[in-house]
Amino acid sequence: MLDIKFLRENPEIVKENIKKKFQDQKLPLVDEVIELDLKLREAKSKGDELRADRNRISKEIGMYMAKKQLEDAENAKATVKKLNDELVELEAKEVEYEAELKKRMMVIPNIIGPNVPIGKDDSENVELERFGEPVVPDFEIPYHVDIMESFNGIDLDSARKTSGNGFYYLRGDIARLHSAILSYARDFMIDRGFTYYVPPFMIRSDVVTGVMSFTEMENMMYKIEGEDLYLIGTSEHSMIGKFIDTLIDEDELPQALTSYSPCFRKEVGAHGIEERGVYRIHQFEKQEMVVVCKPEDSDVWYDKLWNNTVDFFRSLDIPVRTLECCSGDLADLKVKSLDVEAWSPRQQKYFEVGSCSNLGDAQARRLGIRVRGKDGKYFAHTLNNTVVAPPRMLIAFLENNLQADGRVRIPEPLRMYMGGKEFLSK
């Protein structure tokens, strides 16, 4: 959510930003906010005048009573009652103006970074850099489910019976590999100075609306019927929510956290749920990075976060590339975002395995995450990034480590989590 003072003073900048995000339907909101803001400030100013008059006249009542000026006292009481009635009506208008103002401010997008490429959708994202040499072996790479089934490692049919499409059972060495990757990711981030967390897997609605846009919420979140609780789509939601309505001393920043959680997503939209496969599913597990920092440090942390993901995948011999997300592909709260994509030898192209985002002070402003600095209080900046999210990452891992004889090589960092195995054998 933008600073109302910034919007008030820079309406044309806000409108131009909306155009860059190809959301022209939101342009009228800027003028509506300015009008509501003016009405709200006028109402508050008038309310302050009425309260001052009421307090002054209330004091006069006691003076009139002491002097036995009963008629003057009664007139003063009538005036106070009239002022009270006006205040009740005015305060109701203030509440109405504030609600309407917030409703519009919550859907006006954050100001994107100056270097964000302008484009309508993810097809216009810009490749930045490649890490590792993409290899296409001289033998055929099967579909990832076929590789898993060759190790008797996945059961989609049973999951379809218990839960429907978008769910799976992993078993045996494939299930162990799944857990090994998460354990390695946890230790990888701890070794880089991040504090490890296992957060709540459900959050309240005020946290949901604080961490994401309404569109994201509708397309992603599962609501717990009859309760003010939602299943998290990523542990970022709980981890940023942890700081709701807090005042952090400046010397306690930055806070660099890494968290494990299951993730639950409706996956409403163009992509849909796969009938057969584990690329886009309703339930998965993830290791996440979250940073709360001073505004002047957020760009440095942004680069640190995505580099962590690149280093993690490269440590497992998986080639990756980075893509700068264009303006139209950015969620409304994001200042900028970068996707990490892994190489798929079977498809001979890259696919997304993680996303790094700098949200500026948007989440902090919605959730009330402030910092106590030497020169006063200000809103923190928040960032998040995926370390790894199996089972999607398993697709890249299995394809890039598959051998001609059907075995799967276990890179050295994972072997301690796999009982010392160097290969998965059928």
- Torsion, Cα 347 350 352 354, to 10 degrees, reads 130
**Catalytic-labelled residue, pool 96, 124, 216, 352:** 352
Structure letter (DSSP) for residue 227: S
Indicate if 392 belongs to the active site. Answer: yes
CA separation for the pair 347, 218 (Å, rounded) = 31
Residue 282: other Cβ atoms inside 10 A: 18
Q: Give the active site residue among 355, 366, 370, 399.
A: 355
192 catalytic residue (yes or no): no
DSSP codes joined into one string, 324-362: EPPGGGS-TT-SEEEEEEEEETTTTEEEEEEEEEE-TTH
User: Which residue type, as a one-letter code, is found at position 61?
Assistant: I
**C-alpha dihedral over 287, 291, 292, 297, to 10 degrees?**
-170
Q: Which of 104, 160, 204, 280 is catalytic?
A: 280
Quick check: is 238 catalytic? no
CB 34 within 8 A of CB 95: no
Q: Tell me, yes or no, if 124 is annotated catalytic.
A: no
CA distance 9 to 17: 15
Catalytic residue among 54, 265, 365, 370: 265
The CA distance from 82 to 189, in Å, is 64
Active site residue 372: no
Query: For the packed helices 298-315 and 172-191, what is the interaxial angle rounded to 10 degrees?
Result: 140
Which residues are part of the catalytic machinery? 265, 280, 352, 355, 392
